[in-house]
A = this chain, B = another copy of it.
Amino acid sequence: MAVRVQPEPFDLAGEVEMLRAGRTDLGAVVTFTGTVRDNSGGQRLVAMTLEHYPGMTEAELARVEAEAAARWPLAASLIVHRMGRLVPGDDIVLVVTASAHRAAAFEAADFLMDYLKTSAPFWKQEELADGTVNWVEAKASDEDAAGRWLGKPE
């Protein structure tokens, strides 16, 4: 179980290898990589800058990860979130979950992404091709997605 916030790119294969190293009890490893898209509401996106709340971010990510570990039989998990200025095609976030069972790995990764989106203190600012710079508005659909897990018996 680990969380990290960093401006540097992350290495998917390296992270997964470290998490799996020497283990033969894992049956399923799920990774989610969120990346910067070149399009924002029909406008061409030039760059995206991620601001965060140092200290609180790590605490929230760790809390969300602990919650997932309590709900599912996870053998290991990892959250890496980037900050700073990113361009289309760059990675933003990596979530890795490993379990003996496939359903647990899938559901926990999905859960981590939903909660990360609604509770981790990150804010995205977009630079569009027409020169506009604006803060991304939170999506109601993210709140709805996170709501799926409320009171779910596990």
Contacts and interface: CB of A to CB of B under 8 A. Distances in A.
Interface of A: 11-13, 16, 20, 23-39, 88-89, 100, 102-103, 105-106, 109-110, 113, 145
A43 to B, nearest CB: 14
Given A12-B12, A16-B12, A31-B31, A145 B103 contact: yes
Given A11-B13, A106-B110, A34 B27 contact: yes
B27 A37 contact: yes
Contact of A32 (B12, B39, B106, B145): B106
Contact of A38 (B25, B35, B145): B25
Contacts of A26: 35, 37
Nearest to A106: B110
B25 A37 contact: yes
29 contacts: A12-B12, A12-B13, A16-B33, A20-B35, A20-B89, A23-B89, A24-B38, A24-B89, A25-B38, A26-B37, A27-B37, A28-B33, A28-B34, A28-B35, A29-B35, A30-B30, A30-B32, A30-B109, A31-B31, A31-B33, A32-B105, A32-B106, A34-B102, A37-B100, A102-B113, A103-B145, A106-B106, A106-B109, A106-B113
